[in-house]
Each structure stands twice: as C-alpha cells, then as structure tokens.
C-alpha cells in the first residue's frame, strides 16, 4: 500500500501556517510533531462534554473511565502489548522513567551494575545514574561507533554485561542522529545475564512499528506528542514486573497495575487525544484488526520516509561545507539528520532558516552523551533536521538549498517556497 503524504497533510491545520508570507516547514518533528484534526477534536470534545475525574458513579465519570480504557487499548495495539494493563500513562517519558528507575533502585544492591548507552537521550541516562547513585550501583556506559555511521553494535553492549548487571537502558532510535538500534538483540543479551531491558522508543515510534513482544523488552516508554498526539507519556511494562514492583506512589493510589503507576490525576483530555492519534495512524493501513492496520500503516510510511531520507542524503552529498553526522544511507535510520555548516554555529543556522519559516533545532536536544562523544557539546552542538510522513519532497529540496546557500555565504532572500 503506497503512502500519499497529501492525504496526511490535509488533516493537519498547523501545516497551513505561513511565516512572513512563506509556507512554514515543520522540520522540527524530532522535538514534537503536529497534531491532526482528529486529535484536536477528540481533546476538545472531551472537555466540551464536561469530563469529570475518574472512579465516580455518575455518567461523566464513567465516560472518563471509558476514555482512559480506550487510550490504554489503543496503546496496547500500537506497542503490541499482551494486555491493556501493561500500559500506563504519565506526564511524559522523562517523568515516567524517573518513577520506574526509583522503583527498580529499591531492588538493587551496592556493587550491582546498570548499563546505559551514549547514543541515548538523557531521559534514558540521567534517571538511571541518579537511581544507581542512591543504590550504590555502578553505571557503565557503552559508546557508539562514530566511524560506522554512529551505529550501536549489540556486541558492544553484550561485552560489558556480567552477572552483576541488573538493567540495560537503550534507545530504539537516536533522537539526534536517527540511528535505529537492534533492541531485540540487546534485550536478548541482557536476559542472558538475568538483567532487565528498558527501551526509550520516543523517537522510533513515529517512524516504525513498535513490537514489545517481538523485541522481548521488559519496559518501553514513549511520548505521544512525538507521534502526532498530545503531551502525554506512555509506559509499557511486562505485567509480571509492573505487578510485582513496588511503585513510588501515594497511599490512595491502587496497588495493582496499571493504576499503581499512575498516581495522581491523569490528563484525561490528553488520553482522548492519545487514542485518536493511534487511530489516525491506523487509518493509513489495512487489516482485520487495529494492530494489523498499524503494522501496515507504519510499513508504508516508513517506505515513504526512506524516500525522503534518500533525497536529503543525495542532496547534501554534493554540498561543500555541510557535514553530516551518522548513517549516510537511507535505511537503518529514521529521517532525522544532524549536520554542521562550516563557518556558522548550529544556532546561527537555525535562526537563519527560521527567519524563512524553516523550523529546525540546534544544540544538543538533550542528547548530551551523543554530542559529548562527537566532540561538539561545548561548541554548541549540531543542527537537527527531521522529516515525518507529512513532509514533502519539495521541503527536502528547500532545506538542502538553504543549507547550501548558508555554507556558501549566500542570501536566503529568494529561497524557493512551497507552491
């Protein structure tokens, strides 16, 4: 099933925005995607109907319970969880990971070892460093191979594992470089030593089919604002684990999952948006079940995004003064690119492009270990350009032209615009 980006674009009101008469180019997707009309309507509809808190005997409270249940079922389909109770929600992936890390730290002892990778977003590094420090455990960091497309070899992770390893924290895809990681192989290596695997799927989820049963991971976290939904975090936890672990919660919170991991009142209007975001994705696929439709949809969008990646990589290959960090081929990566422009800081590039309505990120984007490993953290980081399935080939050409002009010291005043 081929993917038509125009059918997607029609559903995003934000894509009609203009900046000084020019079409806005949302190439900042790795920092957060835009929301389709169905997500916006679902959130507004919940509030317009007079949503109440959960757990009450009256109709609006029962509707809130149904909204939360629908979001849980939707995310179970998106992640291919075995049951909806393996899905819990929180403010964002960072706060969820901090909570889980505190719970797991109670099971660690001095001398235990926690493994993190230098390819990860800091939300999957710092929480484990904090928890390890409090438990007296040791953190071991695994670097990526900057000479091999910034890849993370499962063998490199396996090499540091041992009988004292309690947890391996790894990203599904780098939010800075786009590198996709073989989390199934790394999870298998962790399990050989009886360690748990915690996967950060924030950046991977909008670009590929997440499958917790296929990868075998014990935990997986994401944030729905990265896959066309609202600002809400999502946690998958293997039921036996999330049931047995002692959650950090207040006394009135439930003792059973998923409620034990959702202490406090959730953003129920956001949960309505989460379910709508999953259904938005499923609508691009085919199949007898929502899970089947989601797999179909992600396969077609992934193929389209590989075309965008190939176009971008081919475009900058001949541009003197622009350096790409990471995989130079369109596969094995997401359509997210970290670049440097000779003679300009990352911030200067982002400002100049932003003035023309081209939205890109500059800096470290919380990927501190990545930037430190590449040696660019103290000099201001890199420019990050990210495409998603509502991006157009013409947008790729425009940003490549913009980078070429900046590298050559030329003006952006007559830069092409979207038709």
**CB distance 321 to 399 below 8 Å:** no
pLDDT digits (tens, 9 = 90+) for 33-67: 999 999 999 999 999 999 899 998 999 999 999 99
Q: How many CB atoms lie within 10 A of CB 252?
A: 7
pTM for the whole thing? 0.97
Instruction: Name the helix (H) or strand (E) containing 233.
Output: strand 233-237
Pairing, β 233-237 against β 322-325: unpaired
pLDDT band at 117 (very low <50, low <70, confident <90, very high): very high
Torsions phi, psi for 353 (to 5 deg):
-65, -40
Structural domains in the chain, sorted by start: 5-31+298-407 (3.90.1150.10), 41-282 (3.40.640.10)
Average pLDDT, the chain: 97
Angle at 127 between CA 97 and CA 229, to 5 degrees: 35
Q: Strand 165-171 relative to strand 18-19: parallel, antiparallel, unpaired?
A: unpaired
The model's pLDDT over 297-328, given as tens digits with 9 standing for 90+, comes to 999 999 999 999 999 999 999 899 999 999 99
Q: Over the stretch 69-113, which tens digit does the pLDDT of each residue have?
A: 999 999 999 999 999 999 999 999 999 999 999 999 999 999 999
Structure confidence at residue 51 (pLDDT): 86
pLDDT value of position 419: 76
What is the pLDDT at residue 1?
A: 57
What are 399-408's pLDDT values in tens digits? 999 999 999 9
Inter-helix orientation angle 290-317/393-407, to 10°: 30
Cβ pair 71, 275 in contact under 8 A: yes
CA separation for the pair 168, 165 (Å, rounded): 8
d(CA 98, CA 224): 18
3-state secondary structure (DSSP) of residue 93: helix
Q: What distance in Å separates the CA atoms of residue 55 and residue 172, rounded to the nearest whole number?
A: 35
pLDDT-derived band at 338 (thresholds 50, 70, 90) equals: very high
Query: What does 116-179 look like in DSSP terms, one character per residue?
Result: EETTS-GGGTHHHHHHHHHHT-EEEEE--BTTTTTB--HHHHHTT--TTEEEEEEESB-TTT-B
Give pLDDT tens digits for 209-226.
999 999 999 999 999 999
């Amino acid at each position: 099933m081929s993917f038509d980006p125009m059918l997607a674009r029609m559903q995003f009101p934000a894509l009609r925005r203009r900046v000084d008469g020019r079409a806005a180019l949302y190439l900042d997707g790795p920092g957060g995607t835009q929301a389709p009309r169905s997500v916006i309507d679902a959130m507004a509809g919940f509030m317009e109907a007079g949503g109440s808190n959960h757990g009450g005997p009256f109709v609006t409270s029962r509707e809130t319970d149904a909204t939360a249940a629908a979001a849980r079922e939707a995310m179970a389909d998106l992640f291919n969880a075995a049951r909806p109770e393996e899905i819990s929600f929180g403010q964002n992936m960072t706060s969820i990971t901090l909570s889980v890390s505190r719970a797991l730290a109670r099971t660690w002892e001095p001398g235990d070892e926690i493994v993190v990778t230098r390819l990860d977003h800091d939300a999957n590094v710092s929480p484990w460093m904090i928890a390890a420090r409090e438990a007296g455990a040791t953190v071991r960091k695994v670097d990526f191979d900057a000479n091999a497309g910034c890849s993370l070899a499962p063998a490199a992770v396996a090499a540091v594992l041992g009988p004292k390893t309690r947890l391996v924290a790894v990203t599904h895809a780098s939010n800075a470089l786009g590198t996709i990681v073989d989390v199934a192989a790394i999870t298998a290596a962790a399990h050989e030593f009886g360690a748990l695997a915690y996967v950060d799927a924030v950046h991977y989820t909008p670009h590929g089919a997440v499958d917790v049963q296929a990868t075998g991971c014990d935990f997986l976290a994401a944030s729905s604002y990265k896959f066309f939904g609202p600002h809400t975090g999502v946690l998958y936890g293997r039921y036996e684990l999330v049931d047995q672990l002692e959650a950090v919660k207040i006394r009135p919170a439930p003792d059973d999952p998923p409620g034990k991991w959702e202490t406090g009142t959730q953003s129920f209007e956001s949960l309505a948006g989460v379910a709508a975001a999953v259904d938005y994705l499923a609508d691009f696929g085919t199949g007898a079940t929502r899970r089947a439709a989601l797999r179909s949809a992600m396969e077609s969008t992934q193929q389209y995004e590989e075309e965008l990646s190939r176009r971008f990589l081919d475009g900058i290959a001949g541009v003197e003064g622009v350096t790409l960090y990471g995989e130079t081929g369109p596969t094995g990566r997401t359509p997210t690119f970290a670049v440097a422009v000779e003679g300009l800081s990352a911030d200067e590039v982002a400002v100049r492009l932003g003035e023309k309505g081209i939205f890109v990120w500059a800096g470290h984007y919380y990927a501190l270990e990545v930037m430190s490993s590449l040696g660019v953290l103290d000099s201001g980081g890199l420019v990050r350009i990210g495409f998603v399935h509502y991006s157009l080939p013409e947008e790729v050409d425009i940003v490549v032209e913009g980078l070429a002009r900046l590298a050559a010291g030329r003006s952006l005043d007559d830069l092409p615009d979207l038709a």
